[in-house]
Amino acid sequence: MAASVAGPSTPATTAPTKPKRRPNPNNVIYGNPLPILIETPPRTPYTLGFLPFHRSKIINPECSGIYDPLTRSVWVTGKRDVRVLWERGFFGKGSLSRSEPSWLTRRVQQLNGGEVLTAEEVTARRREQRKHFKASRTAAIQKAAQEAEAAFSASLESPASTFELPLVNAPHNVPRPTFEAAASKASGDGPPKASETKEDKGVNSEDEVEKQLRQQPEPLDEDQVENMEHLQLTLQEAFFLAWGLGCLRVLDTESGQYLSLPSLWALCISSSASPLPSLPPTIDECRRPDNPFLIHYATYHHYRSLGWVVRGGIKFCVDYLLYKRGPVFTHAEFAIVICPEYEDPADAASSPFHFQKEPFTWTWFSTINRVNAQVKKTLILAYVTIPAMSRVTEQDLDSPKSLSTYSVREVVVRRFVPARMRD
């Protein structure tokens, strides 16, 4: 009977472990897509038959805003309301900032002399560096062109046979001056005196540091600086928060009372119909299916209900920009251009509003497409079907229920580049 002999055991090779990624704090700060929160209690199912049920609680932040007739927008001034609306869905824009209301942070850092830069300061510094780079590059190109032209002129004036390189009469084996010698020569200081000892230097430096620390003021806090900035909401954003989510109350400055939903609806329609705040629109102009507020809000509500973060797109010649999670995570993926489309073409002739009714010209269409293609955004034409006036009455437009008569269709446009799309 043969006995099996076990060989020497080899140590098991372990795969190298990847270093753990640091958690992104933005996922915690901006983790909620909407201002309202749904709080689920611990799992204590209430048995009804054989199906477990759970009770969920909806937490409403109940934010407040003030309607401003000059800018036709809603201002949110409360610090807590501003953070809630921005961090939970990216609603609104800072009145003194590019996007996020960060003026107070920049002001405190400026007063304290801090070196931490905000997004606006980083962008301004990058643009200034780019400006200096372009200016220096232009000067270098001009200087090189002048030198080349001067050399070419000199070669034409001199005879063709005299091309000799001048000899430089310089002594050889000359030692280079050291940095210490050059520094001592420039300063003119000799060796330190015997009376100047290291202990005296240390005492003097400590006294100077203490003196500077005493003279330096204490750093300011955000509570000690007056905040001059507010969060500015468009009418579409304000009505979506008030009617769609029920988490915003709008205060009327004239009456000093909060507006009801029908009053806010009428205010949004009338504000969009008048070209100037000082000229109140007529009733016939307001209560039309092609009111600009109705068209833009139907588009805004459509994409918000699909989970997109909708922001203004005037910077890229479009109406809206669509973000997957928000501007702090990624750039916008899609650019939306609203194209109103009348269900009854006869309604377009009697319309008092001036917006894009006719098809785009090829020049304008190519401009929009090129601008968004350069920044890697997909252009989408959102065709909003306007219901016929014979089907929708003026009484129907007195309620937000009339929004159900609108429909949105998307057409994706991509720029054709033959060099990239041959395959």
Q: Choose between 221 and 193: higher pLDDT.
A: 221
Nearest to 324 by CA among 100, 30, 122: 30
Residue range 276-299: average pLDDT? 78
% of the chain at pLDDT higher than 90: 44
The pair of three-digit structure tokens given for residue 164, joined into one six-digit string: 């000799």
Q: What CA–CA distances, in Å, run from 115 to 110, 127, 351, 403, 421?
A: 9, 18, 55, 50, 47
User: What rounded mean pLDDT belongs to the chain?
Assistant: 80
Residue range 27-34: average pLDDT? 90
% of the chain at pLDDT higher than 70: 71
Which amino acid type is present at position 229?
Answer: E
Q: Choose between 275 and 419: higher pLDDT.
A: 419
Is 354 one of the annotated active-site residues of the chain?
Answer: no
Phi, psi of 43 (to 5 degrees): -70, 95
The C-alpha atoms of residue 270 and residue 287 are separated, in whole angstroms, by: 8
| From 320, 342, 377, 406, the catalytic residue | 377
Question: Phi-psi region for residue 103, left (φ > 0), alpha (ψ -120 to 50) or beta?
Answer: alpha
Q: Which pLDDT belongs to residue 44? A: 55
Alpha carbon of residue 36 to chain centroid: 23
Q: For 324-367, what is each residue's pLDDT tens digit?
A: 999 999 999 999 999 999 999 888 888 888 776 677 888 999 99
Residue range 376-383: average pLDDT? 95
Q: Find the range with the poorest average confidence among 27-36, 111-120, 224-233.
A: 111-120
Q: What CA–CA distances, in Å, run from 236 to 28, 271, 297, 311, 353?
A: 27, 12, 5, 11, 18
The C-alpha atoms of residue 384 and residue 332 are separated, in whole angstroms, by: 22
Whether the pLDDT of residue 209 is over 80: the answer is no
Q: Count other C-beta atoms under 10 Å from residue 333's C-beta.
A: 14
| From 67, 323, 342, 406, the catalytic residue | 323
Q: Choose between 386 and 25: higher pLDDT.
A: 386
Q: For 122-180, what is each residue's pLDDT tens digit?
A: 778 888 888 989 999 999 999 999 888 888 888 887 655 444 544 445 444 545 555 44
Q: Find the range with the poorest average confidence among 100-104, 238-242, 258-262, 328-332.
A: 100-104
Q: For 40-87, what is each residue's pLDDT tens digit?
A: 666 555 545 545 555 678 899 999 999 999 999 999 999 999 999 999
pLDDT confidence bin for 34, thresholds 50/70/90: very high
Q: Which pLDDT belongs to residue 170? A: 47
pLDDT confidence bin for 4, thresholds 50/70/90: very low
Residue range 21-29: average pLDDT? 81
Residue range 279-286: average pLDDT? 61
Q: Which pLDDT belongs to residue 379? A: 96
Is 331 one of the annotated active-site residues of the chain?
Answer: yes
Q: Which pLDDT belongs to residue 22? A: 73
Burial of 203 (0-12, 13-18, 19+ CB in 10 A): exposed
Strand bridging mode 63-68 / 57-59: unpaired
H-helix or E-strand spanning residue 146: helix 119-157
Q: Which residues pair with 348 in a beta bridge?
A: none
Phi, psi of 408 (to 5 degrees): -125, 130
Q: What is the dihedral of CA 324, 328, 329, 335, to 10 degrees?
A: 40
- Contacts made by residues 300-308, CB under 8 angstroms, sequence distance 24+: 300/236, 300/237, 300/240, 301/236, 301/240, 301/244, 301/403, 302/382, 302/408, 303/336, 304/240, 304/244, 307/33
Nearest to 381 by CA among 338, 327, 331: 338
Q: Choose between 374 and 54: higher pLDDT.
A: 374
268 in Cβ contact with 248 (< 8 Å): no
Whether the pLDDT of residue 421 is over 70: the answer is no
Which numeric CATH code is attached to 287-423?
3.40.1350.10
Is 18 one of the annotated active-site residues of the chain?
Answer: no
